[in-house]
Amino acid sequence: MKNILYIGNKLSSKGKTATTIDTLSSALTIEGFNVKSVSNKKNKFLRLLNMLLSIIKNKNWANYVLIDTYSTQNFYFAYLSSQLCRLLNLKYLSILHGGNLPNRLKSSPKLCSAIFNNAHINVAPSEYIKSNFNSLGYHNIIIIPNAIEIENYVFIERDIADIRLLWVRSFSNLYNPKLAVSILKALQDAGINASLTMVGPDNDGSLMDTKAYAKFLKVDVSFTGKLSKNEWITLSKDYNVFINTTNFDNMPVSVIEAMALGLPVVSTNVGGLPFLIHNEVDGLLVAPNNTDAFVVAILKLKNNKEIKMHLTKEARVKVEQYSWKVVKEKWNSILE
């Protein structure tokens, strides 16, 4: 069985949301791969150093190096890791994350070329990322979607009398969490019984900003902080609309999970979301940063039970293709 070194931000033990490095490392280990994953160092400099030293240390052990690649500051971690792999003649695979990654292709073309043109293969979670890379001349790309253990997500049909909104993400400006508070305020100002719970850890100070904004608008929002997967799935039983307010995105696992659970999804139509959600077929898409559009979509779900039922059933059918039982065959095909 192959030996895999996985390079990424493994920070779930530091209070951050679990990401692909956590879930995929575990899944591949269960499949029989020997997986080492780094780094869990909280300090960014020490984390980068740990990544690079791990590549050197395991150069004769690893058959492949997986590198999580994002568009923000961690892009440079991926760049340095990939170039070290090239120097040591190690095969590496770039796993492409983040709805803003296509903009990085344009802003850092030389660095991107060095990473992606020299990768053994680039793994995109969606057609959105693949099509953007293809348009700029990158063709060594395979789509492997983010996976969930579908059997852990029980589909529940939900009535919408009082509106109970659920928002699940890390608190980051990219994800526009304050919009969720504005949506709640607008619903309540219209005389509609509505509540909002926001689940997730702080990433950039946005949690405190969102709490302050809720206080300013005089609306009561429940902030749970970080929850485990099982905790938020259990919590989800008490809610009937899932909102995704992001300004940039790729293929968010929390939205896939909501679709699996039978929560009707209202999301912004940015990045990879239109590739995940077919508007008015398995979810509702609205313009970003548009409170009124969200309210109209939410009331559409509340006032038309048939539409709500159709959307949720179609959504569950769609996300069953993201079951690990299906997705693992794609990983096996490129790692064996």
pLDDT in tens, 182-241: 999 999 999 999 999 999 999 899 999 999 999 999 999 999 999 988 999 999 999 999
Question: Closest Cα to residue 260, out of 198, 323, 167?
Answer: 323
Same domain, 306 and 217: yes
Q: How many domains does the chain have?
A: 2
Give the separation between CA 224 and CA 221, rounded to whole angstroms. Answer: 10
What residues contact residue 92 under an 8 Å CB cut-off, 6+ apart?
64, 65, 66, 67, 81, 82, 85, 86, 119, 120
Same domain, 70 and 186: no
Report the CATH number at residue 188. 3.40.50.2000
Residues 262, 21, 199, 323, Cα dihedral to 10°: 0
Same domain, 303 and 198: yes
Same domain, 156 and 8: no
CA angle 325, 17, 73 (to 5 degrees): 105
Task: Tell me which amino acid residue 38 is.
Answer: V
Domain boundary among 111, 144, 177: 144
In the predicted model, residues of the chain with pLDDT beneath 70 are 14-15
Same domain, 120 and 154: no
Same domain, 125 and 177: no
Within a domain: 14 = yes
Within a domain: 329 = no
Same domain, 91 and 199: no
Same domain, 105 and 175: no
Alpha helical stretches, state H, 13-94 = 20-30, 44-57, 75-87
Residue 14: predicted pLDDT: 64
What residues contact residue 147 under an 8 Å CB cut-off, 6+ apart?
23, 24, 27, 322, 323, 324, 326, 327, 328
Domain boundary among 144, 163, 180: 144
Any idea what DSSP says for residue 18? Answer: P
Same domain, 48 and 76: yes
Query: What distances in angstroms separate CA 290 from CA 183, 188, 246, 293, 294, one per listed residue?
Result: 9, 16, 11, 5, 7
Same domain, 208 and 275: yes
Within a domain: 306 = yes
Q: Which domain holds residue 283?
A: 150-321
Within a domain: 335 = no
Residue 225: predicted pLDDT: 94
Residue 72: predicted pLDDT: 82
Starting at the edge strand found earlier in the chain, the sheet holding 92-96 runs 34-38, 3-7, 64-69, 92-96, 121-124, 141-143
Contact 331, 25 (CB under 8 A): no
Same domain, 44 and 67: yes
Q: CB count, 10 Å around CB of 23?
A: 18
Residue 239: predicted pLDDT: 98
Task: Tell me which amino acid residue 14 is.
Answer: K
Within a domain: 157 = yes
Report the greatest alpha carbon distance in the chain: 66
Look at residue 93 and give its three-state secondary structure: strand
Domain boundary among 119, 144, 169: 144
Within a domain: 326 = no
Residue 98: predicted pLDDT: 74
Give the separation between CA 7 and CA 92, rounded to whole angstroms. Answer: 10
What residues contact residue 2 under an 8 Å CB cut-off, 6+ apart?
33, 34, 63, 64, 335, 336
Question: Closest Cα to residue 192, out of 200, 183, 181, 201?
Answer: 183
Q: Could you tell me the two tokens for 145?
A: 């979607």
Within a domain: 327 = no
Give the separation between CA 301 and CA 93, rounded to whole angstroms. Answer: 41
Residue 85: predicted pLDDT: 98
Same domain, 42 and 157: no
